[in-house]
Amino acid sequence: MSQERRLGLLMAVTCSLLWGLLAIVMKVVSEEVDSITIVWFRFTLAFSLLGVILSCRDRRRLGILLRPPLLGLLAALALCANYIGYMQGLALTTPSFAQILIQLAPLLLAMVGVVWFKERLNRAQFVGVGLTVIGFILFYHDQFQAQVVAGNVLREGLGYLVFASIFWAAYASLQKHLVQRGCAPQDLNLLLYALPIPLLFYWADFRLLAELSAAQWLLMIFLGANTLLAYGALGEALKRLPAYQVSLIITLNPLITLVVMAGLRGLSVSWVPDDEVSWLGYSAALLVVLGITQVLIRTDGCTDQAS
């Protein structure tokens, strides 16, 4: 295995771990701060930190803000829509539900990989699509029966998560295309973080931020830093690996969320969000991950399109 491929795998695993923790912290913060304000703050902090880093290395790299590629602007809009949709879906549901249902995103990315990046799938991988759909249905049924949130609220949250998944697949596909054409991943991320800041500024509630406690500010800072580190790692991974391999690894992040949530409940942590998953739910979650793994796993018939 080449050094570039090993680095790509490390970056994808890092992204998966960060996203596994993200939903839990976001759910805690959403009890005090609205979705738009959280999203605006995450982009603002990530842009500020990355801007300082790139300025210290080479100020010319900030030129992408003055001459942004059109597809880069579209990717930024898609990522912004993903953030808002996911945040709204998470606020209405639970961390476990949001993390399982958002796995529709890498599944859609794999389908885009087949159409756009010519990453062929075999018959067994299409069977994985069926397994994933069954897993989604069973997990939704488990959460509906658990009644942690009302059924109509759960359905509304599901709609937001499907919306978020579609736009994440659009963002990741555009980023993959731009990286393959020579755009530096971190330069592109700077643009992705910059555009939503003025777009969401009007709707951000700064009074809520002023009223946060020190502990809540630490959680907000974690969310912003998570954005920088996770999407930075994702961009580097997409540069070195095919889209389906990156999707395969980041698909593991809901299992991280489920394990951490179960551990927190076992420790009777007072601030842990309401979240109840039965053995049927855990089995369904595993089926979702296994199904997507079957779809995304590399076979001899696949073509490596990584640049």
Does residue 227 form part of some domain?
A: yes
Span 252-299, pLDDT tens digits? 888 889 888 888 887 777 777 777 788 888 898 898 888 877 776 643
* φ, ψ (nearest 5 deg) of residue 109: -60, -40
Which residues form the domain of 203? 3-296
CA 5, CA 18: separation in Å to the nearest integer?
Answer: 20
Q: Is 52 within 8 Å of 175 (Cβ atoms)?
A: no
305 neighbors 114 (Cβ within 8 angstroms): no
Question: Does the pLDDT of residue 30 top 50, yes or no?
Answer: yes
CB-based burial label for 150 (10 Å; 0-12, 13-18, 19+) = exposed
**Total Cβ atoms within 10 A of residue 58:** 10
Contact predicate 251/17, CB 8 Å: no
Q: How confident is the model at residue 242 (pLDDT cuts 50, 70, 90)?
A: confident
16-20, 34-38, 120-124, 244-248: least confident range:
120-124
Is 185 inside any structural domain? yes
In a domain, 307, yes or no: no
Instruction: Return the closest-CA partner of residue 243 out of 166, 174, 162, 165.
Output: 174
**Predicted TM-score (pTM) of this structure:** 0.84
Number of domains observed in the structure of the chain: 1
pLDDT at 196 over 90: yes
Q: CA geometry: angle at 97 spanning 21 and 281, to 5°?
A: 110
List, for residues 62-119, the tens digit of each pLDDT value.
889 999 999 999 999 999 999 999 999 999 998 989 999 998 887 787 777 666 655 5
The 10 Å Cβ neighbour count of residue 116 is 15
The percent of residues in the chain predicted with pLDDT above 70, rounded, is: 91
Q: Locate 302 and state its tokens.
A: 């696949």
Spatial contact of 36 and 200, defined as CB atoms under 8 Å apart: yes
